[in-house]
Amino acid sequence: MTADWSAVWASFRVGGIGALGALALGVWLAWELSAREFRGAGFVAALAGLPSSIPLVVGTYLALDLAGHPAAFTWKVAALAAVFSELPEVLRASRAAMEALPREYAHAARSLGSSGRRVFWLVVAPLAWRPIVAAAARAFGPAAVEYVFAIFFAAPHAARDALLRGPLLPVMVVAALAAQAAAHRLSRAGAAT
Amino acid sequence: MTSARIARQGPHGFSLDVEFSLEPGITALYGPAGAGKTLLLEALAGFTRPDSGRILLQDVLLFDAAARVCALPHRRAIGWVSHADSLFPHMTVRQNFAFAAHGRPRVERARRVAEALEKFQLSPVASSLPAAIAPPEKLRAAVARALLAEPKLLLLDERRWQEPLVRQVRESFGGPVLLVTGDLDLCCAAASRLLVLSAGRIVADAAPRDVLDRPETIEAARALGIPNIFECAISALDPGRHTSRLDLAEFSIAGPYIPGHFRGDRVSIAIRPEELRVHDGASAPPASVEARLVRVLPGLHRVRLEFSGGIFADLPPEEYEAKKDAQSWRIEFPPDKVRALRPAA
């Protein structure tokens, strides 16, 4: 009997897209919130942090309800849910990393004629990337594992036994551990520099 | 024309409210900590938005609160050297320079970077990261990088500015420079004009020597660190001899003629501690006043003596050594060194 790897790949997709999506959205929001003063900044920050206030059970129920039927809870819906559920943590880490940089760097770059985008890519991102990527790596584990648990509990009894015997759980445990280790290493390297 | 009128409310009741113009050359900005120097520079550079006012740089409007004009910092052409290190730590000195020279053809950029490295004696450290170079080199590099962007106005925040570097800036850059410094000797040596900022207001604006020798207001005298500021009553005025007699709380002294005042008027006067003459009681001239020594504050180049009546006098260490065992002290106020002050507007 050959192992069923489809659930593994689906989990990787959910975790990867969830982490990368949260990274892109979180970094963009963090840059806007830390570099600009605009009306409603507090509301935007609160809205982006809202998913962290929603209990996992409620979030899953809402996602299933939005999908209409458990069968419609595809990996794409899960990936989208993962982006928003991991956004608060990535946003918090990104803001902290950007605001920890001495503001003289960004000010000097602006005074040298650099646009906000150039300041971000050439000054802020190279100096602040480690804790931000560490937060995204940390987000990968929960995003992928949540999907594993969702399909595990939604599956019929026989299919659940098959999943238990398959590679899904050990591979995801190893992947989540590897992501946490990478995040830890990046955080330590960031703190050392 | 380069001019600024800036008003901004700060935290804890502080407010910045200044108006001045800048000419080509170095204008020094001096003031005590918390006077608003960095806030003023940040408002000019566009990092802080004033609540009201107008900023013109070579007749180009950068900010006008009423017209809702506010140019972004990277479009202002204002060079800025911060009070802290601002060289990008992940780039070498050469890369920092290339960052400033962006937007030019590659060959020209390389030429300009090489010229700047040579001019500011930074060629040996061109490939070093900022963390690996000495503080004076970092400061030279920050200045050279700011100049590479070809600003129309250069803002130099408070650092350990040395006269040769400031002179080099003056020779390299033809536009106006606003230099924040706490070094009054440097102001006199390198700047053509001195602005004194105190509690968010400009309290003196003139040639450095004039400001230092003849502070006009109480606020300017305080901001310049003159401790001898006394309130007194005019008991005699003699315009013919250009003298006056001034009654302080505990003694009276001879002073200069004070135009615009009458006998009996109350005025404030100031005298620098180094301009007072300190005598031991035995050899004092009759015009001196007796004072009790309260404490001695030793310094590197001067010893500051605090006397009763709030009188402070500075003596060279060798003069203090010669007089320190005096049984009594008398202080002489040279009349030509006494300045009458007016309250700020």
Higher pLDDT, B307 or A70: B307
- What's the rounded Cα separation, in Å, for the pair A1 and A166? 10
Token output for B140: 């030279």
Tally the C-alpha atoms within 13 A of residue B217's C-alpha that lie toward its C-beta. Answer: 15
Is residue B175 classed as helix, strand or coil in its secondary structure?
coil
Extended strands (E) in B249-288? 252-256, 266-270, 277-280
* DSSP letters spanning A70-91: GGG--HHHHHHHHHHHHHHHHH
Do B134 and B54 lie in a common domain? yes
Question: What pLDDT does A64 receive?
Answer: 66
Which residue, among B339, B88, B305, has the nearest Cα to A119 in the 3D structure? B88
Which residue, among B148, B141, B156, has the nearest Cα to B98 in the 3D structure? B148
CA angle B23, B27, B29 (to 5 degrees): 140
pLDDT band at B181 (very low <50, low <70, confident <90, very high): very high
The ipTM assigned to this model is: 0.82
The stretch B8-17 carries a mean pLDDT of: 90
In this prediction the pTM is 0.81
Q: Quote the minimal CA–CA distance from A43 to chain B in Å.
A: 22
Give residues 259 to 278 of B whose Cβ lies within 8 Å of A. none
| Residue that is last in its domain, among B222, B238, B269 | B222
Do B216 and B237 lie in a common domain? no
Do B206 and B234 lie in a common domain? no
Whether B70 shows a pLDDT value over 60: the answer reads yes
- The answer, for B187 touching chain A at a CB cutoff of 8 Å, is no
Higher pLDDT, B206 or B327: B206
CB A162 within 8 A of CB A170: no
The stretch B81-86 carries a mean pLDDT of: 93
Token output for A136: 């995204």
Higher pLDDT, A3 or B22: B22
Residue B86 to residue A104, Cβ atoms within 8 A:
yes
Do B243 and B217 lie in a common domain? no
Closest partner residue to A108 (CB to CB) among B42, B72, B80 is B80
Give residues 135 to 164 of A whose Cβ lies within 8 Å of B. none
Do B211 and B291 lie in a common domain? no
Handedness of CA A74, A75, A81, A85 (dihedral sign): positive
- What's the rounded Cα separation, in Å, for the pair B265 and A56? 80
Closest partner residue to B149 (CB to CB) among A113, A115, A122 is A113
Number of neighbouring beta carbons within 10 Å of residue B53: 19
| Residue that is last in its domain, among B191, B222, B253 | B222
Do B206 and B233 lie in a common domain? no
Q: Which of chain A's residues have a Cβ under 8 Å away from the Cβ of B80?
A: 107-108, 111
Do B217 and B235 lie in a common domain? no
Do B38 and B57 lie in a common domain? yes
- What's the rounded Cα separation, in Å, for the pair A96 and A30? 9
Q: Which of chain B's residues have a Cβ under 8 Å away from the Cβ of A104?
A: 82, 84-86
- For B57, the domain range is 2-222
Express as a percent the part of chain B with pLDDT over 90. 80
Do B193 and B236 lie in a common domain? no
- The answer, for A126 touching chain B at a CB cutoff of 8 Å, is yes
- Rama region for B102: left / alpha / beta (φ>0; ψ in -120 to 50; rest): beta
Higher pLDDT, B300 or B207: B207
Give residues 35 to 94 of B whose Cβ lies within 8 Å of A. 42, 45-47, 49, 72-80, 82, 84-90
Question: What pLDDT does A60 receive?
Answer: 64
Question: What pLDDT does A56 receive?
Answer: 58
Per-residue pLDDT of chain A (193 residues; tens, 9 = 90+): 566 677 778 788 888 888 899 899 999 999 988 877 778 888 888 888 777 777 655 666 676 676 666 556 677 777 887 888 888 888 998 999 999 999 999 999 999 999 989 999 999 999 998 888 888 888 887 777 777 677 667 667 767 777 777 777 778 788 888 888 887 887 777 665 5
* CATH code where residue B63 lies: 3.40.50.300
Which residue, among A93, A65, A77, A61, has the nearest Cα to A143 in the 3D structure? A77
| Residue that is last in its domain, among B192, B222, B252 | B222
- The answer, for B178 touching chain A at a CB cutoff of 8 Å, is no
Do B67 and B128 lie in a common domain? yes
Q: In chain A, whose CA is at the least distance from the CA of B85?
A: A104
The stretch B24-41 carries a mean pLDDT of: 93
Mutate to test the interface with A, among B74, B75, B157, B178 (most CBs of A within 10 A): B74
Do B216 and B257 lie in a common domain? no
Number of domains within chain B: 2
Residue A112 to residue B78, Cβ atoms within 8 A:
no
The stretch B136-155 carries a mean pLDDT of: 96
* CATH code where residue B310 lies: 2.40.50.100
Q: Which of chain A's residues have a Cβ under 8 Å away from the Cβ of B143?
A: none
Residue B86 to residue A108, Cβ atoms within 8 A:
yes
Do B48 and B108 lie in a common domain? yes
Number of neighbouring beta carbons within 10 Å of residue B77: 18
Whether B259 shows a pLDDT value over 70: the answer reads yes
Q: Which of chain B's residues have a Cβ under 8 Å away from the Cβ of A113?
A: 74-75, 77, 100, 102-103, 149
